[in-house]
Structure formats: C-alpha cells, structure tokens
Amino acid sequence: MSREASDAFADAVDRHWREHGWGLWAVDPTADLDHPHVDALAYPDLVRQVLYRLGHEQWRARLR
C-alpha cells in the first residue's frame, strides 16, 4: 500500500470513529497474538498478528 493510500485509509477510519463512535482500531494489552481464523498450515506467515501502539498525542500529531 502506498503512503497516500495508507494515509487515506487511516483518515477514513478516524472519520468513521468520529461520526459513529466506534471504529476499526482495537485495544489489545496482551500485545502480539496468533489470529484465531487464519489457517496456520495454509498461511503460516499470516498467523502471527502484531499489535502496534500509538498514544493519543502521537495520533493527534499525525493529523496535524
């Protein structure tokens, strides 16, 4: 995904959150996890999911 496409996607998710009060982002304090619905034999590289953390101030600074 290009930087422009990534920024557009993040903006759309943020806009949806503000308009509807919920959105795509999740809060998961346990950090990385194995996705429960990915077939580990068929897609071994997709099983592990990485949690990236971004604080509120960092998120707002990105929007400026």
What length does the chain have?
64
What pLDDT is attached to residue 45?
93
Is 8 a residue whose pLDDT tops 70? yes
- Find tokens 């806009």 and name the residue: 15
Residues 6+ apart with CB under 8 A from 58: none
SS3 call for 4 = helix
**Rounded to an integer, what is the distance from CA 44 to the centroid of its chain?**
20
User: For residue range 9-40, what is the model confidence (pLDDT) as tens digits?
Assistant: 989 988 988 888 777 766 676 678 898 899 99
Tell me the average pLDDT across 27-55.
85
Query: Looking at the 3D structure of the chain, how many domains does it have?
Result: 1
Does this model's pTM top 0.85? My answer is no
